[in-house]
Amino acid sequence: MLKLEKVSKYYSAGGVVATGFSKVSLEFDIGEFIAITGESGSGKSTLLNVISGLDSYEEGEMYVGGMATSGFTREELEDYRKRYIGNIFQTFNLINSYTVYQNVELVLLLSGAKREEVAPKVHQIIERVGLKAYENTKASKLSGGQKQRVAIARALAKETPIIVADEPTGNLDTKSAAEIIELLNEISKDKLIIIVTHNYEQVEQYVTRKITMHDGKVVEDKQLKSEAGGFDEPEAKEAVADTLSGGNTLRLGVRNTFNIPAKFILMLVVFVFLCGGTISSYTGIMNEKSYMNSGWNQFFADTSPERIVIKRSDKKAFTKDDYEKIEAVGNIEQLVKDDLILDTAAYISNDSDFWLSGILESASKFEDQIVEGRLPKNDREVLIMVSDSEYEREAAESALGKKGFLTNDNTGEQLLKEKIKVVGYGVLTREQQEIMEHSSRYMSGYFCLSDKGLNEIRYAALESRSKITFNYDGQEASAPIKTYDGVPEGHVYLCEDIAYLSDKWAVGQTIKVNNKSLYFDDNYEFTVDAVYTSSNYNYLTGAKTYDEGAGYVYMNPKDYKKMYTKGNYQSSVKVKDVKIIDETKSKLEEMGYDSFCLKDGMFDSSQGFSTLMKAFLTLTLAVTLIALFFVTYFIMKLILKSRNVYFSTVRMLGGTKRNCADLIRVEIITVANIAFAICAGLVALVHFGVIGNIDYLNQLVSYLNVKNMAIIYALTILMSLLLAARYSKSLFKKTAMNAYKEEV
């Protein structure tokens, strides 16, 4: 049955070679009940482990049923253990978190027993070892003798021809020890039983043969009684390739997930961390990317994707006729004639207790959304619309009833000469808020003015976007303009330093004025009427000090106003359906309007840089996920260390590498799914406004549509599979025995 020919086992640790046993030649047959004795360190356990296939050997040959084993691959060795060997240990090696029933059942499941035959068999075996009353007791609650009975039950369940027991009574009191030996004797009839013991008297009356070892050598091999004899060489169990069925793997994996509550909770926390980390780094990156999509478009404050900016191809001002034609194009939600207003980002502040930023809008359309206060009644009143967050609401509320200057956010110039009063505030809808978030900078909301107020601002906006240059006797100069009623129309007063640009006598000369912007390029001529100096400035310009007036060109306010009293050169439309915005754009172009979709402008504005940045962000995401993975892996490894005992026990019971890897996978994936469900639940709660009203959180959650959640789920599961693979790989670096020895 089993034959060893000059087999030696050496241990090498740290360059030192120790001998487990050397040149042992023995033969064993079915029906034998063999005791191996010898002092501690003589090599008994090592010999048993080699026989069991738990350890390899270096020299000689071991035959099983005539088959040489030295060339066995790992799989063949696993198969050998599974079909031939039942192990019983001094330390019992039970799975403490399993019940007696589950411990025995595990063996049957691992050997591929069918579902319906498992239960009756388990009951029968448990009864045979006398533990019927303890079937549903956890192994950890049993006495030593009972534990060893479970170990024997397990060996029986395996139905192997060979049972090896390494000091099975070493941890038991005399009475339990005697009972265990008797039980082993009972089951020994058609099996080969090899038992290692210190205490030979205990087994003397049963054994058929006594082997004594000393210093790694067999020094005595004594036949005591002839074995029962007449046994046929028993067939080992059929080799079955993958015995643990998928369904049973699932059942065991799920059982393992929950049967140690503390471990389950720890793992869940780690996975919630992994999953939450994945969600937050993923959405964080999405958020960054979307900022890049909207871009820092310097020219347009309102960068909503629905917007098309239009100009007449002939660069002339729009007429009423144009507007009618444009509105008839279809898919037009809104025509914004005064579109400069759209792009004027401003802030209102009284320098002490409030500061709000916003985009200008016409007040009338927000009437229904007012929370407190009212619509503006004149051009010195404003309604503020803010996003729906506590912070913004409070800011708006604190501004209510106060006055402040409306200032251009780009230029720092006051858009209106007098202070305006905040007469009401309201809250934006989610869609309005999204449009605002698409705009290029961070804004509190919309400043809603009366139409007259808006018109004045439009004038100021036009002014701030144009550049005036003077040409005086062939010399280019750019100087700021001031207005003074005392200057006759069509005339200007020059400051002396501008007048000195020419050698000629200034008064009476013509000065050319060019006023240029994106929308117009106008030329005017003025006659120089006077030159003011440090001595006559007050008389000519009304300025109180010379410093206040120096360097300017003074003209009559009517002349100045004329330069900006112009038609509309640029308008915008907002489309209803952004999906067909390109069609709408082509129609407008066919009709003779230069059109420009803001959504395209976002890419142009960053010119390739954004592609690079996106690649960089994707890389950042990958690096974050890898870091997250390793942090999780190391924590998991610590937690799973407690599982090493479980898996080495499974291996000793005949579980293959693949079985263990499958079980780990099921366990980790189960936890990962629960963690994902928890995270998805939290996301949903934030999404539907049940918890948290933190802007940033809401913003992040807004990226988590079904598609993105699916991607995150896939990432989480992928990382879990990698974790499982890494862990099972590390588990199988060692032989089953070494793995076990290290843990116990």
Q: Residues in the site for ligand ADP, rule: CB under 6 A?
A: 11, 13, 18, 20, 38, 40-46
CA–CA distances in Å: residue 620 to residues 175, 603, 705 = 67, 21, 22
Which single residue is written with the structure tokens 């549509």? 705
To the nearest whole angstrom, how small is the minimum distance from the Cβ of residue 216 to ligand ADP? 7
Which residue number, 43 or 373, has a Cβ lying nearer to ligand ADP? 43
Which residue number, 90 or 344, has a Cβ lying nearer to ligand ADP? 90
CA distance 83 to 68: 16
| Sequence-distant (≥ 6) Cβ neighbours of residue 73 within 8 angstroms | none
3-state helix, strand, coil in the chain (%, to 5): 45, 25, 30
Residue 705: name its binding partner from ligand ADP, Mg ion, none (Cβ under 5 to 8 Å by kind).
none
To the nearest whole angstrom, how small is the minimum distance from the Cβ of residue 742 to Mg ion? 16
Residue 43: name its binding partner from Mg ion, ligand ADP, none (Cβ under 5 to 8 Å by kind).
ligand ADP
Residue 69 engages Mg ion in binding (rule: CB under 5 A): no
Tally Cβ neighbours within 10 Å of residue 609.
11
To the nearest whole angstrom, how small is the minimum distance from the Cβ of residue 80 to ligand ADP? 20
To the nearest whole angstrom, how small is the minimum distance from the Cβ of residue 183 to ligand ADP? 23
Pairing of strands 33-37, 192-196: parallel
Tally Cβ neighbours within 10 Å of residue 537.
23
x/- mask, Mg ion, residues 226-255, rule CB under 5 A, reads: ------------------------------
Q: Which residues pair with 19 in a beta bridge?
A: 10
CA distance 303 to 264: 49
φ, ψ for residue 305 (rounded to 5)?
-65, -15
Residue 609: name its binding partner from Mg ion, ligand ADP, none (Cβ under 5 to 8 Å by kind).
none
Residue 665: name its binding partner from Mg ion, ligand ADP, none (Cβ under 5 to 8 Å by kind).
none
* C-beta of residue 657 within 8 angstroms of C-beta of residue 732: yes
| Sequence-distant (≥ 6) Cβ neighbours of residue 104 within 8 angstroms | 122, 125, 126, 150, 153, 154, 157
Residue 438: name its binding partner from ligand ADP, Mg ion, none (Cβ under 5 to 8 Å by kind).
none
Residue type, 6: K
To the nearest whole angstrom, how small is the minimum distance from the Cβ of residue 89 to Mg ion? 10
CA distance 114 to 733: 31
Give, as ranges, the residues between 9 and 68 that touch Mg ion (CB under 5 A).
Answer: 45
Which residue number, 18 or 685, has a Cβ lying nearer to ligand ADP? 18
Which residue number, 42 or 176, has a Cβ lying nearer to ligand ADP? 42
CA 530 remoteness from chain centre? 72
CA distance 308 to 135: 77
Which residue number, 198 or 365, has a Cβ lying nearer to ligand ADP? 198
First to last CA, the chain: 32
To the nearest whole angstrom, how small is the minimum distance from the Cβ of residue 199 to Mg ion? 13
CA 40 remoteness from chain centre? 55
Number of residues that bind Mg ion (CB under 5 A): 1
Which residue number, 43 or 168, has a Cβ lying nearer to ligand ADP? 43
CA distance 301 to 446: 12
Instruction: Output the CA torsion sign for 465, 552, 452, 380.
Output: positive
Residue 720: name its binding partner from Mg ion, ligand ADP, none (Cβ under 5 to 8 Å by kind).
none
To the nearest whole angstrom, how small is the minimum distance from the Cβ of residue 2 to Mg ion? 19
Which residue number, 42 or 148, has a Cβ lying nearer to ligand ADP? 42
To the nearest whole angstrom, how small is the minimum distance from the Cβ of residue 38 to ligand ADP? 6
Tally Cβ neighbours within 10 Å of residue 102.
20
Which residue number, 43 or 161, has a Cβ lying nearer to ligand ADP? 43
To the nearest whole angstrom, how small is the minimum distance from the Cβ of residue 652 to ligand ADP? 16
Which residue number, 199 or 514, has a Cβ lying nearer to ligand ADP? 199
To the nearest whole angstrom, how small is the minimum distance from the Cβ of residue 651 to ligand ADP? 17
Which residue number, 157 or 737, has a Cβ lying nearer to ligand ADP? 737
Applying CB under 5 A, the residues found at the interface with Mg ion are: 45
